[in-house]
Amino acid sequence: MNQCKTCGTDTKNPKFCSRSCSAKHNNKGVRRHGKDPKSCIVCGALTRNLKFCSRSCSSKHNNKCVKRHDKDPKSCIVCGTLTRNFKFCSSSCSSEDRKKDIKSIRATNAARQARYRARHGYNRAYAPGADKEVIEIIYQNRPEGYEVDHIIPLSKGGLHHQDNLQYLTVLENRQKGNRLDS
């Protein structure tokens, strides 16, 4: 029987009892490819790498000490905590910011739609003989869940007149579009 060079146990193999003993022995002082063993800067274990003995030690060091891509930590634009990400510290802060963006997108779309309508003659010019006060009352007294619809659409030559207005549910109004049927 032979004796393991690392732990001293009896073994059938000529030098080591296991692969782990072989690795421990090789990491302690044997030179390979002309490199001297060095100490890991995180845990102090012997290594042939430049600074670290494992990926774990490398990530521990990089997460604590090293600036990534030469960037200092920044404040999250939603909650103000320090982060190395572009804007947000977490996915919940990102979704909060996205909710704000949706509101601004809706406002932008409404403005774009208003410009389109003005450019293409949908500016709701009042018809001759239309009572503006009655039309305002129709819009103000609109029931919940309903919209004011033009029976003959403005795009088809309809007029903005109190006799050309009706209440439709949101779904019915979207389905009708600019068709003449009611």
* Residues 21 and 6 sit within 8 Å (Cβ to Cβ): yes
111 and 151 assigned to the same domain: no
* Last residue in a domain, options 82, 99, 123: 123
Q: Residue 58 pLDDT more than 50?
A: yes
Query: Is 103 domain-assigned?
Result: yes
8 and 63 assigned to the same domain: yes
Query: Is 45 domain-assigned?
Result: yes
Rounded Cα–Cα distance for residues 37 and 29 (Å)? 6
- What's the maximum distance between 2 C-alpha atoms anywhere in the chain? 116
Which residues form the domain of 109? Answer: 68-123
* Residues 116 and 126 sit within 8 Å (Cβ to Cβ): no
Please write the tens of the pLDDT for every residue from 30-53: 455 556 677 888 788 777 667 777
Query: Is 181 domain-assigned?
Result: no
Rounded Cα–Cα distance for residues 44 and 145 (Å)? 70
61 and 95 assigned to the same domain: no
46 and 72 assigned to the same domain: no
* Last residue in a domain, options 67, 95, 115: 67
139 and 115 assigned to the same domain: no
* Residues 45 and 39 sit within 8 Å (Cβ to Cβ): yes
CA-to-CA dists, residue 35 to 49, 108, 164, angstroms: 9, 64, 90
148 and 104 assigned to the same domain: no
The most confident of the ranges 5-9, 54-58, 109-113, 152-156 is: 152-156
Residue 166 — pLDDT band, cuts 50, 70, 90? Answer: very high
Query: Is 182 domain-assigned?
Result: no
Please write the tens of the pLDDT for every residue from 92-150: 888 877 777 777 777 787 788 777 776 766 656 788 888 989 988 998 999 999 999 99
Please write the tens of the pLDDT for every residue from 6-20: 778 888 777 888 877
82 and 51 assigned to the same domain: no
Beta pairing class for 82-83 and 165-169: unpaired
Q: Report the domain count for the chain.
A: 3
The per-residue pLDDT for 76 is 81
The per-residue pLDDT for 149 is 92
More confident residue, 79 or 63: 79
Query: Is 106 domain-assigned?
Result: yes
110 and 129 assigned to the same domain: no
